[in-house]
Amino acid sequence: MRKRTVRLGLNYILVAMVLITIATFFHEELAWLFMLSPVGETELALTGLVVGWMFGGVGVVIAAVGFLQSATREADVQLRPIIIILAAVLAIFMMLFYTSLIKPEEPRLRPGETITI
The domain ranges of the chain are 3-102
Helices in 1-117 by DSSP H: which ranges?
3-25, 27-33, 38-68, 80-102
Distances in Å between the Cα of 18 and the Cα atoms of 33, 70, 101 are 18, 30, 20
User: Which pTM does this prediction carry?
Assistant: 0.83
Alpha carbons within 13 angstroms on the beta-carbon side of residue 14 total: 16
pLDDT tens-place values along the chain, 117 residues long? 888 999 999 999 999 999 999 999 999 999 999 999 989 999 999 999 999 999 999 999 999 999 998 887 777 888 999 999 999 999 999 999 999 889 877 777 777 777 777
Helix H, strand E, coil C: the string for 25-50 is HCHHHHHHHCCCCHHHHHHHHHHHHH
